[in-house]
Chains A and B, each alone.
Chain A
Amino acid sequence: DAMVIQNPRYQVTQFGKPVTLSCSQTLNHNVMYWYQQKSSQAPKLLFHYYDKDFNNEADTPDNFQSRRPNTSFCFLDIRSPGLGDAAMYLCATSTRDNSYNEQFFGPGTRLTVL
């Protein structure tokens, strides 16, 4: 089945130690999104790619970076994680070819910062 995959599902890192979260998709969608979701809060958009065009949200900290080497893969790099970066990170895809343009989400990566 076509899907959005995130690895790992659970990630533990130490304060200040760089970490990379991975997202891959078999849907061949041209748009990929990264969201941060803290407990009992709405998902917050960090950035998105439209093909190779990177779009950063104005309030996304510089500590967060992203790479999209090809259509299928997108990475979220947290350069120096702080305790406040502990959250669920959701990857989503969409395409303008679908009538609803809905987003398809991966299962998320739950990040713990010690």
Chain B
Amino acid sequence: AQKITQTQPGMFVQEKEAVTLDCTYDTSDQSYGLFWYKQPSSGEMIFLIYQGSYDEQNATEGRYSLNFQKARKSANLVISASQLGDSAMYFCAMREGRASGTYKYIFGTGTRLKVLA
């Protein structure tokens, strides 16, 4: 069964330093997508970055990059130059196709990141 695993319940990072949030996944599908979302205390889920299973290059979006290692089934999020506003819950998610023609998204249990001044 498809599954997302985030093994770090909480992480601390000093402001302006880089941090890596771990994500491993399990799927038998050949075509899938991997996402990272940020959820501040307000509750809204904010899309950060996407990696497709056929993409050969690691995705980057500003200070966010995704370290995609397909053979190891890992999709770690790297945040460079951490800012106080990066303190939030971070979820890794995977998109899988369904017979109905829509997609289902499976979420990991999240990592709570705290950026220290």
Tell me which residues across on chain A come within 8 A of B107, comparing CB atoms: 42-43
Contact between chains at B43 and A110 (CB < 8 Å): yes
Q: A residues within 8 A CB of B101?
A: 50, 96
A13-21, A59-67, A69-77, A98-106: which lies at the B interface?
A98-106
Q: How many A-B residue pairs have CB under 8 A?
A: 61
Minimum C-beta distance from B101 to chain A (A): 6
Interface residues on B, range: 20 to 34
The verdict on A105 contacting B102 (CB below 8 Å), with A41-B109, A43-B107 known, is no
Q: Which of A32-62 contact B (CB under 8 A)?
A: 33, 40-43, 45, 48, 50, 53, 55
Q: Does A107 contact B (CB under 8 A)?
A: yes
Given contacts A53-B100, A108-B43, contact A100 B109 (CB under 8 A): no
In the bound complex, do residue B109 and residue A107 qualify as a contact, i.e. CB atoms below 8 Å apart? Answer: no
Specify which chain A residues have a CB less than 8 angstroms from the CB of B110 in the assembled complex.
40-42
Residue A94 lies at the interface, judged by CB distance under 8 Å to chain B: yes
B5 to chain A, nearest CB (A): 11
A31 lies within 8 A of chain B by Cβ: yes
Give the shortest distance, in Å, between B39 (CB) and chain A (any CB).
Answer: 9
Q: Does A23 contact B (CB under 8 A)?
A: no
Q: State in angstroms the CA–CA spacing of A78 and B30 once bound together.
A: 37
Point out residues on B near A: beta carbons under 8 Å. Answer: 33, 35, 37, 42-47, 50, 52, 91, 95, 98, 100-105, 107-110, 112
